[in-house]
Amino acid sequence: MIFSEEYFKTIELYRKLHSSGTTKLPPQKTFAGYSLIKWIPEIHSIIKINKANSIIDFGCGKALAYKGTIQSSQKTFPGLKEFWAVKNITLYDPGVKEFNIYPKKKSMGLFVLMFLNIFQQKIFFTLLMVCILYPKNLFFC
């Protein structure tokens, strides 16, 4: 996929915000990945209905929501992978060195939460089309 110069400028600014923070948040809290938390049950339901065994979190931020245990009813899960009962979770975020490798293969599902919000309208729609065409079964935005 070939992206525009404007896309790469936006990604560079996004990387700087990840490493430097914003006027309101320090770097460790900027795009930390916590926006995922309120959607965990809904994503779990979608994964279960579609019998997805692999998903991509496209724009995972620092992915801090993946680094703790999950409590559900009377059961505790070591992490989201176990709670969602998927074989593979690919974390992608171009602003975080640990997760900046673009996914090479399709998965059964893809979700995008806050990531698309950083782009201007014309880049947004191009990236949205990439996201919609990428998963095999489900897309959650």
Q: What is the CATH number of the domain that holds 69?
A: 3.40.50
Q: How confident is the model at residue 141 (pLDDT cuts 50, 70, 90)?
A: low
Q: How confident is the model at residue 90 (pLDDT cuts 50, 70, 90)?
A: very high
Q: How confident is the model at residue 94 (pLDDT cuts 50, 70, 90)?
A: confident
Q: What pLDDT, in 10s, does the model give residues 104-134?
A: 887 888 877 766 565 555 555 555 556 555 5
Mean pLDDT for 65-85 is 84
pTM: 0.78
Where in the sequence is the domain holding 134, given as residue range(s)?
Answer: 5-140
Q: How confident is the model at residue 91 (pLDDT cuts 50, 70, 90)?
A: very high
**How many structural domains compose the chain?**
1
pLDDT of the residue at 128: 56
Q: What pLDDT, in 10s, does the model give residues 44-68?
A: 888 998 888 899 888 899 998 898 8
pLDDT of the residue at 1: 54
Q: Could you tell me if 111 and 140 are in contact, meaning their C-beta atoms sit under 8 angstroms apart?
A: yes
pLDDT of the residue at 5: 80
Instruction: Indicate if the pLDDT at residue 99 is higher than 90.
Output: yes
Q: What pLDDT, in 10s, does the model give residues 15-37?
A: 898 899 999 999 999 888 888 88
| Burial of 11 (C-beta count, 10 Å sphere; 0-12/13-18/19+) | middle
DSSP 74-103: TEEESSHHHHHT-SEEEEE-TTSGGG-SPP
